[in-house]
Amino acid sequence: MGRLSVNLCGIELDNPVIPASGTFGFGYQFVKFYDINCLGTFSFKGTTKEARYGNPLPRIAECEAGMLNSVGLQNPGVDEVISKEIPRMLKCFKKPVMSNVSGFSIDEYVYVCEKLDTVDAIGWHEVNISCPNVHGGGMSFGTDPKMAAEVTKAVKAVTKKPIIMKLSPNAPDIVAVAKACEDAGADGISLINTILGMRINLRNKKPILANTMGGFSGPAIFPIALRMVYQVAKAVNIPVIGMGGVSKADDVIEMMMAGATAVQVGAANVVDPLACKKIIDDLPAALDKYRINDIKDIVGGAFNG
């Protein structure tokens, strides 16, 4: 493998760049811009048991250094993902892909993971535990270590492929949640998901988003994401995928120095559909600039700095 290659839970990636779920669809939407096989992999659209329309419009709001979204997990449901979306994806992407699983109960997480685990093209399951627990008063699974561990154990029991738990930055103690997931059998951790925010229309004095609040992403959250990746990567012994405001090659290097094995790119794909390709193209020169021979060598490089 080359100087950009990394190993994520036993699967080799040509490079550590991964478009984040919700910003890359099922991949085929981007083939008119570039050959997506240049990617390490990508995390496809968040998938639930049943089809979801999502939240009411408007559900996107621009910000000076990022964006707010309140899409609400719009997707066609797991059965249609398997029967229609993945076959379309396979026509243009020839590497293992990362599923993204969402749910509003442990039973739903289990159902979706068990179904997706039968798909040969899927290499990893990224389990989004930022969803509200409908049987637990609406609290996010990812804000409580015990609930996070329960989800992890449940999905591990029905899958053979690596489970990567995607954590919410809104947890009071994200390290405790990450360690609980690791102890429950998680094969990896990804973080951070979006940060809760809002905007107000000054003319009509109403929130811009129909749902009032939404997830804030983009360059403004990079330092927060970096801090959390650093804290979690130092505390666990499983791979970490870092994300949050990544938009250029230097950001990838910084995330990896903070302990990330691979790096997801989210909002940047919405701003520029070529964002991930540009980052991959720029990485060799960035490594040369910082006198790095092999990108694997820098993972956790800041731990003793």
* pLDDT tens column, 97-115: 999 999 999 999 999 999 9
100: its two tokens: 């993204």
- Residue 303 inside a domain? The answer is no
Residue range 184-230, pLDDT digits in tens: 999 999 999 999 999 999 999 999 999 999 999 999 999 999 999 99
Q: Kindly state the tokens that stand for 178.
A: 């990450």
Report the chain's mean pLDDT, rounded to a whole number: 95
Q: Is residue 1 part of a domain?
A: no
Distance CA 44, CA 121 (A): 12
Rounded CA separation 223/229 (Å): 10
87 within a domain of the structure (yes/no): yes
The pLDDT of residue 135 = 66
Global pTM value: 0.96
pLDDT at 130: 84
Tokens of 305: 């700095």
* Residue-level pLDDT at 133: 59
- Is 182 contained in some domain? yes
Catalytic residue among 9, 131, 181, 276, which? 131
Known catalytic residue: 276?
no
126: in domain:
yes
Segments forming the whole domain that contains residue 113:
6-298
Which residues does 297 contact at the CB level (< 8 Å), separation at least 6?
A: none
Among 137-141, 153-157, 272-276, name the one with the lowest average pLDDT.
137-141
**According to the model, what pLDDT value does residue 140 have?**
82
pLDDT for 167: 96
Give the mean model confidence (pLDDT) for residues 15-34.
97
Return the CATH number at 162.
3.20.20.70
pLDDT at 136: 62
pLDDT of residue 297: 96
Q: What is the pLDDT of residues 146-171, one digit of tens each?
A: 999 999 999 999 999 999 999 999 99
What's the rounded Cα separation, in Å, for the pair 188 and 75?
25
Total number of domains in the chain: 1
Predicted confidence at residue 302, as pLDDT, reads: 97
pLDDT one-digit tens code per residue, 277-304: 999 999 999 999 999 999 999 999 999 8
The upper half-sphere exposure of residue 53, i.e. CA atoms within 13 Å in the direction of its Cβ, equals: 3
Residue 304 lies in a domain: no
Q: What is the mean pLDDT of residues 13-25?
A: 97
Q: What is the pLDDT of residue 235?
A: 98
| pLDDT above 90 (res 137) | no
Whether residue 55 is contained in a domain is answered as yes
Taking residues 133-152, what's their average pLDDT? 82
What DSSP letter does each residue of the chain carry, written as one string?
Answer: --TT-EEETTEEESSSEEEPTTSSTTSGGGTTTS-GGGSS--B---B-SS-B--SPSP-EEEETTEEEE-----B--HHHIIIIIHHHHHTT--S-EEEEE--SSHHHHHHHHHHHTT-TTEEEEEEETTSB-TTTTT-BGGGSHHHHHHHHHHHHTT-SS-EEEEPPTTSS-HHHHHHHHHHTT-SEEEE--PEEE--EETTTTEESSTTS-EEEESGGGHHHHHHHHHHHHHH-SS-EEE-SS--SHHHHHHHHHTT-SEEEE-HHHHH-TTHHHHHHHHHHHHHHHTT-S-GGGGTTTTTT-
Whether the CA torsion 16, 296, 164, 56 is positive or negative: it is negative
**Unique residue bearing structure tokens 């329309």:** 53
What is the mean pLDDT of the segment spanning 266-286?
Answer: 97
* Residue 141 maps to a domain: yes
